Structure 1
């Protein structure tokens, strides 16, 4: 269907749309239309710095939306991760922007996917090449990727009535989608919000956030749940640590005097410190993450889900079989773990006696480091996702599907396995993007992308990825590789070892 009032797209002209802020001119990205760097909120600097997002200004005339907009201030990945997670840094203050790919800006009623990037809440952006929405648009889905404030700019908590600014940014982007996506052919009533890692944590948190109610009807959470949610007390303590490292008072006014780049580096360094803490129980902790502030997030998301929050939202959730190898293999740590270290970590994580033996029985010949990866993957990623599913079942919520991505990367002599983020190039069906080859290898199989991407498209478009729903009787889980195999309660003995743990 062509809407001549909203679009112009001929062989001699770039695609154009009219939104509330003004008129936009995009560009063709292959056979789909792309509109990049669209502001959904005002620049969060000057008097707006470290404050809730405000509406963007209107513009006069035709605004070019042909290139990615500025990225939010952020830290750098450690050298052993930088090649695996190539970053994009674009200077400028108008960093609260988003990107839209659509198969038909003159159409209507198309399903919408809104992607929230990961990066430990301190890194990443919606302009990472691996998040291009071309394949989703090719397959009939309007794909939106967003930026949101990171680190202290987005998640500083000072107990002064202002908190969770990064979440507020995400909500502002979703509100923009509800208002404007019809101009790009999308259906504002058929929105799926999705994310990976910190993005997945954001997705589950948004499901439990009253202010986000009604902004999406479906959700996808890849390798992240809500185990990292911070209490207000913990978050205030982290703010004090950050202030100490910067030599400033722990007040909003003092933090606003710190240059944004310096604050981003300090926040990222604090996050990295948690990832290498001497106490393994802190490894899954993120110093900047959603905070139970009693306002935007009144209670722990799991408690809210048990009480029926997000009851009407269909959910697809899961993780990768070897998620935490991403922190063990590239660093070489996997070969430094011995039996005593394995036992000490398991105990520090609260695993009951006999847990390591359960994992060893299912993995004969596995090294202590490989066993540690299995234990921490379940503790930090798999079990928290199952807890979300169980909470929803307890509340009588809408349908929930679980998956496990099993396809193993050949990187690092095959030892990386199905590590954290390995699924992303397959889900986005961007195997020709060379920036992802350090993670997945230079000859990734198209069959895996056909399977994973196809399941995500089915879920976004039809509300069902194609395998049985999760319930407590069968615990059906899709194991994703070149094809989908449905398993009942895979690795159930290991799951039961974490009984009682959130």
Structure 2
């Protein structure tokens, strides 16, 4: 019996609970079908006490073997406001800076590595999100990594006495961990692709031009990146307004006195009245978040469009795109139908071409034009212009649009690409949707597989499977039930925005 137990333990260790030695210490994962998963590996020291608003510190070495079976606790956000980052240990969430690895082969496979940077309006981030499970992509032939990084005030507010863009600095720390450790998980540290959606995509656009991120990845995929990057003046004003809600100032000494719940509550209070600031904060006051990467001249020297056009990241392969109906995610929600006042505000502050929208979209209602405008200003045109900038700077770039949807009410809305890529929206769920079109349940599997295949191909070889983008042919992969490659399909909006130059957003005036 004793001998059998020993053999059984060895079998579990090798086949069911494999162990990997990282630079800091050993971790024990779990084999789940044909993929090995390691969850909740700490990549930086807990950002608590004196480290709360500081740049991340590499994790210290440990003895023994740490279980990596469960996702690490999420960072502070509206849904997680316990002991984390206030120095307490009551809920264990001080270990929030962790990452996860899915690998189909722990041998010397040297597989391409895909590092996922999740979105969430710079307010939410939790790598335990079931819609970001990396198993299916890993089965397609890649090692997949995801991470928690700081958001909200802790990650993106401008605070006197600490560095800006701390959430992106966390991402850089995780990428350093990948460089130092991923070979042991079957990945190739010389072939790393970062991919992310929404705020995650915008962070990737920032990483492309940040000196601290140089050499940490070879390729990048920006999905539905919002075009908001803040000046120091604008970020300072926003942070000061949040601090006023607490009766204090936006300095590290003052804000460190407040628990995470107080910071998220103060942020929520500002979000509720953010449109009131549009005359001074400008168009960002019409977005759902008071945070974005800060162009501080040091950590993030310039906004991505200008930097890429001048040749930054020309050695990085770039795949970029968006969904067709980006802003439908917001207008299709209960209460999302815009009022006349919101429509007027949008066309007053987001564009100087309101008449051009009426001409370009003559059959659209005011509410529909509102949706198109917000899709263009916030997601579609920033993505297209980044492709133009990358091409102008001499870098290889490919463009795509997701045009497939499973129901006409929601359309090809923001974040649908995430569900397709990770394969977490099942045919049965689609079939049960009351507005699903007849073939949607069959098509979703194929569309998701098409995107996944192209993403992994790009990560492996630098070629997603269609012609690179250039401003003349504007070759675009359009994902439908039967994907095609064609000129950029949103030509009407492209023409409206052809003379616009996306750049750092600044205060319109100060009182």
TM, length-normalised to structure 1 = 0.88
1:322 match: secondary structure: coil
User: Which residue matches 1:402?
Assistant: 399
Would you say the 8 A contact 1:122–1:267 is kept in 2? no
Larger radius of gyration: 2
User: Which residue matches 2:130?
Assistant: 129
Q: Deviations over 1:96-119 (max 9, x none)?
A: 000000001123310000000101
Cα separation, 2, equivalents of 1:278 and 1:434: 43
Would you say the 8 A contact 2:48–2:94 is kept in 1? yes
Q: Deviations over 1:53-101 (max 9, x none)?
A: 1111222111100000111001259xxxxxxxxxxxx851000000000
1:354 match: secondary structure: helix
Q: CA deviation at 1:125?
A: 1.5
User: Which residue matches 2:507?
Assistant: none
Aligned residue runs from structure 1 range 156-235, under 5 A: 156-160=157-161, 162-225=163-226, 227-235=227-235
Would you say the 8 A contact 1:151–1:268 is kept in 2? no
Moved more, 301-310 or 375-384: 301-310
Would you say the 8 A contact 1:351–1:498 is kept in 2? no
Cα separation, 1, equivalents of 2:273 and 2:178: 36
Would you say the 8 A contact 2:243–2:249 is kept in 1? yes
Task: Summarize the Cα distance change of 1:353–1:154 in structure 2 as closer, same or farther, 3 Å threshold.
Answer: closer
User: Which residue matches 1:86?
Assistant: none
Q: Deviations over 1:172-194 (max 9, x none)?
A: 00011000000100000000001
User: Which residue matches 1:421?
Assistant: 415
Task: Summarize the Cα distance change of 1:10–1:257 in structure 2 as closer, same or farther, 3 Å threshold.
Answer: closer
Aligned residue runs from structure 1 range 230-379, under 5 A: 230-271=230-271, 273-274=273-274, 281=283, 282-284=285-287, 286-334=289-337, 336-337=338-339, 342=343, 345-361=346-362, 364=363, 366-379=364-377
Task: Summarize the Cα distance change of 1:270–1:443 in structure 2 as closer, same or farther, 3 Å threshold.
Answer: farther
Match for residue 388 of structure 2 among 381, 387, 390: 390
1:111 matches 2:109? no
Q: CA deviation at 1:500?
A: 2.5
Cα separation, 1, equivalents of 2:310 and 2:11: 47
User: Which residue matches 2:70?
Assistant: 67
Moved more, 111-120 or 10-19: 10-19
Moved more, 22-31 or 191-200: 22-31
1:180 match: secondary structure: helix
Task: Summarize the Cα distance change of 1:344–1:244 in structure 2 as closer, same or farther, 3 Å threshold.
Answer: closer
Cα separation, 1, equivalents of 2:118 and 2:296: 23
Q: CA deviation at 1:245?
A: 0.7
Cα separation, 1, equivalents of 2:68 and 2:135: 16
User: Which residue matches 1:449?
Assistant: 448
Q: CA deviation at 1:349?
A: 1.2
1:18 matches 2:21? yes
Cα separation, 2, equivalents of 1:125 and 1:483: 33
Would you say the 8 A contact 1:275–1:283 is kept in 2? yes
Cα separation, 2, equivalents of 1:455 and 1:153: 35
Q: CA deviation at 1:491?
A: 2.4
Q: Deviations over 1:339-370 (max 9, x none)?
A: x8645522321232532223424xx3x33222
Would you say the 8 A contact 2:158–2:250 is kept in 1? no
Q: Deviations over 1:227-271 (max 9, x none)?
A: 211101111111110110111222111100100232133234434
Cα separation, 2, equivalents of 1:161 and 1:64: 33
Would you say the 8 A contact 2:428–2:441 is kept in 1? no
User: Aligned residues, how many?
Assistant: 474
Task: Summarize the Cα distance change of 1:137–1:357 in structure 2 as closer, same or farther, 3 Å threshold.
Answer: same
User: Which residue matches 1:40?
Assistant: 43
Q: Deviations over 1:181-228 (max 9, x none)?
A: 001000000000011000000000000101101100100111115x21
1:93 match: secondary structure: helix
Cα separation, 2, equivalents of 1:273 and 1:125: 26
User: Which residue matches 2:475?
Assistant: 476
Would you say the 8 A contact 1:38–1:65 is kept in 2? yes
Segments of structure 1 that go 5 or more residues without pairing to the other structure are 1-6, 78-89
Cα separation, 1, equivalents of 2:118 and 2:193: 14
